[in-house]
Structure 1
């Protein structure tokens, strides 16, 4: 039934309520980010102003200049990038092999393995913090990017395996059958046939894992003392005195590390929502 034709008044009310709901949700989600951006462009002396005066206060780039000129912040960006890329690369490599095995082959205990992976992925980080700290110190990886990469694999590999397995199951079996008929081995089928088809899934999974590693705080705080990642560096910002909280530089640093993630999501959004096997099999 076409409500727009049969009852225009009710249709108008529904559409109005729908857009009001969408506007309210968008405002609720974007208002904190907007206020953080606004704070990053204000001087410390403006933070005590009333909201109406705070919004109309003069803009300044002094907070961004302080943040970008901070050696600790520059070093934190480098370490965060190194750790996030290393963790994602290893997770995608291991996760792809595991997803191929779990999604294509039948063997005893397969369902139990999937349940274990799911359980590990939802396990709280604090529960394994003590044992993992002892392991990393014993291996001589404390305050080392390799130690952080090792610790991040605990939550990136289960997530990667679980997500990629569902994608592998949706790939038509005709692709593998055609490759086997042509004499391809299982590894050749994986690298030359399935990987190109899985590329949207790999990009999506890698991007989400990268965001998790980039924003991770607990492990980075525990397993490092000087080689800090960006979230820890921002969390350790302090003012000139114990009563001074540098909200302006903190917000500026947060915006600097958030904007690249937003750009990555916008750039790869087509891969996130696109079908995995579009055009892979011809009628």
Structure 2
């Protein structure tokens, strides 16, 4: 490319980066603003303060935010682990075995993935109340699997298709059973895909709001997105925007840390199979 073309590419890249990061920077700025500065209109806080963070961590909102943060971590990690385990076996069967209805299974998974969540919340609420799963961890883990399993099956099946069938056959020729070949050959080779799927599944569960606000009523199982909607100011005349922004910053930190720790595996997983030769 010529210097002019490179310049335009750099300008476009910087513009896209600013467009994507500006809302995050604005939330971070608001999290440091006292209530009196929220309507000032300036981007940077005039009098930066950590009061919003103290409010949600050690102040009036700690009993709402800290249990919700614990619930989100526990529920999302369990849902992600179960989703990855089940989708691993399902994707292996879809990629390796030839059986009737294989395409139907993938199509059904796609339909479930795009099905509107709001349409099943009300019947699920009634069922959960009757069988005792309302406001419990299990009552959120099961619906989260309906969100994470379809995309996990689709993602992992693509990775398993890229693994040469001959490597598994060679392991079986050397005396390995089907399970040993799967565990010692296929799973290590599919590790980038497993990591990518786990990160995506965790993000989906972590960001859910509809299930969290509809299937919980106390801090026994209420996740962070639902708890953010229940924040209130010190009085009826005080806007809790600063506290909500501080909570949003804290909730975003685990996502950023995961991406930074596993960015190489994520990139390797997303680009796996993109080039064949």
- Normalised TM-score (structure 2): 0.91
Note if 1:48 corresponds to 2:42: no
Does the CA contact (< 8 Å) of 1:197 and 1:277 recur in 2?
A: no
8 Å contact kept, 1:39–1:248? yes
Distance 1:95 1:46, change over 3 A: same
Output the CA distance in 2 between the equivalents of 1:193 and 1:276: 20
Task: Select the residue among 90, 93, 114 that pairs with 2:85.
Answer: 93
Partner of 1:271: 265
Q: Does 1:61 align with 2:50?
A: yes
- The structure-2 alpha-carbon separation of the partners of 1:156 and 1:45, relative to structure 1 and needing over 3 Å to count, comes to same
Indicate the structure (1 or 2) with the bigger Cα radius of gyration: 1
Q: Does structure 1 retain, via aligned residues, the 8 Å contact 2:83–2:145?
A: yes
Are positions 1:250 and 2:255 aligned together? no
Aligned to 2:163: 171
Residue 7 (structure 2) aligned to one of 16, 38, 46: 16
Q: Does residue 231 in structure 1 map to residue 225 in structure 2?
A: yes
Shift of 1:275: 6.0
Shift of 1:41: 1.1
Cα deviation for residue 170 of structure 1 reads 0.4
The CA deviation at 1:66 is: 1.1
User: Mapping of 1:81-160 within 5 angstroms?
Assistant: 81-160=73-152
Corresponding residue of 1:8: none
Q: State the 1:273 CA deviation.
A: 1.5
> 1:191, CA displacement in angstroms?
1.5
Structure 2 contact 37–46 (Cα < 8 Å) conserved: yes
| Counterparts in 2 of 1:43 and 1:138: CA distance versus 1, 3 Å | same
Q: Does the aligned pair in 1 maintain the 2:78–2:141 contact within 8 Å? A: yes
Secondary structure class of the residue paired with 1:55: coil
Match of 1:79, SS state, is helix
C-alpha distance after superposition, 1:37-73 (max 9, x if no partner):
011111111112232xx52513211111111121221
1:218 maps to: 210
Change (3 A) 1:31 1:254: same
* Distance in 1 of aligned mates of 2:209 and 2:151: 18
CA distance, structure 2, for counterparts of residue 77 and residue 229 of structure 1: 6
CA distance in 2, matches of 1:145, 1:79: 8
Give a deviation string over 1:127-149, Cα, whole Å, max 9, x none: 22223223322321100011100
Which residue is 2:194 aligned to? 202
Distance 1:276 1:186 in 2: 27
**Aligned residue pairs, count:** 267
> Offset at 1:241?
3.4
User: Does the CA-based 8 Å contact 2:33-2:47 persist in structure 1?
Assistant: yes
Cα deviation code 1:176-209 (max 9, x no counterpart): 1111112222222222211111111111111111
Q: Which ranges in structure 1 are unaligned for 5 or more consecutive residues?
A: 4-10, 279-283
CA distance in 2, matches of 1:169, 1:132: 35
* Matched residue, 1:189: 181
State the 1:33 CA deviation.
0.5
State the alpha-carbon separation in 2 of the partners of residues 160 and 50 from structure 1: 43
Contact 1:171 1:276 in 2 (8 A): no
